[in-house]
């Protein structure tokens, strides 16, 4: 099994359970709440996230073929918990880094060293005065 794949398995089975709840307190990290394509189960995945204008951009260190990214793409969106609040996101788009200036320099440097080249951009969902807040039980059920 390649090192990168072993690291992904370790993160999913061990590290995410310890660090996931803490990561939502930092501005550079968040937790993606998504539903399994086949199982229908709810999942939470810690991620590295930054802003690009109004959009949220999540790095894909294991590529767009990882389960959580495929779940988000299939569902057409997700919720992102960041700094203790949930934001509903939609219109996911995968793109490759082409040295774009919209990725912060320090983040680009670190991700380049880790050979991360794919990203997932998502738009915040418009706030509807009749809809439930994204973090509420009603918002998650929708």
Contact 61, 114 (CB under 8 A): yes
pLDDT band at 62 (very low <50, low <70, confident <90, very high): confident
Fold designation for 27-126: Pnp Oxidase; Chain A (2.30.110)
Mean pLDDT of 31-52: 91
Mean pLDDT of 5-27: 62
Q: Which of 45, 131, 43 lies closest to 88, judged by CA?
A: 131
* Structural tokens at position 99: 């040295």
* Structural tokens at position 18: 């310890």
Q: What does pLDDT average to over the chain? A: 79
Taking only the tens place, the pLDDT of each residue in 71-102 is 999 999 999 998 888 999 999 999 987 666 56
Q: How, if at all, do strands 42-52 and 55-59 pair?
A: antiparallel
Chain-centre distance for alpha carbon 127: 20
Residue scoring higher pLDDT (33 or 19): 33
Is residue 18's pLDDT more than 80?
A: no
Which CA distances in Å does 124 have to 16, 93, 109, 127, 140? Answer: 24, 13, 26, 9, 15
Q: How many CB atoms lie within 10 A of CB 142?
A: 9
**Any idea where the domains of the chain sit in the sequence?**
27-126
């Amino acid at each position: 099994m390649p090192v990168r794949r072993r690291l992904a398995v370790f993160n999913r089975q061990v590290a995410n359970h310890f660090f996931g709840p803490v990561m939502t307190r930092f501005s550079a990290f968040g937790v993606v709440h998504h539903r399994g394509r086949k199982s229908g189960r709810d999942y939470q995945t810690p991620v590295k996230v930054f802003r690009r204008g109004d959009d949220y951009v999540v790095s894909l260190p294991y590529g767009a073929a990882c389960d959580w990214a495929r779940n988000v793409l299939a569902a057409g969106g997700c919720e992102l918990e960041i700094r203790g609040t949930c934001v509903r996101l939609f219109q996911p788009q995968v793109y490759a880094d082409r040295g774009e200036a919209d990725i912060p320099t320090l983040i680009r440097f670190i991700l380049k060293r880790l050979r991360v080249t794919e990203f997932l951009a998502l738009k915040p969902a418009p706030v509807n005065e009749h809809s439930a807040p994204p973090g509420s039980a009603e918002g998650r059920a929708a």
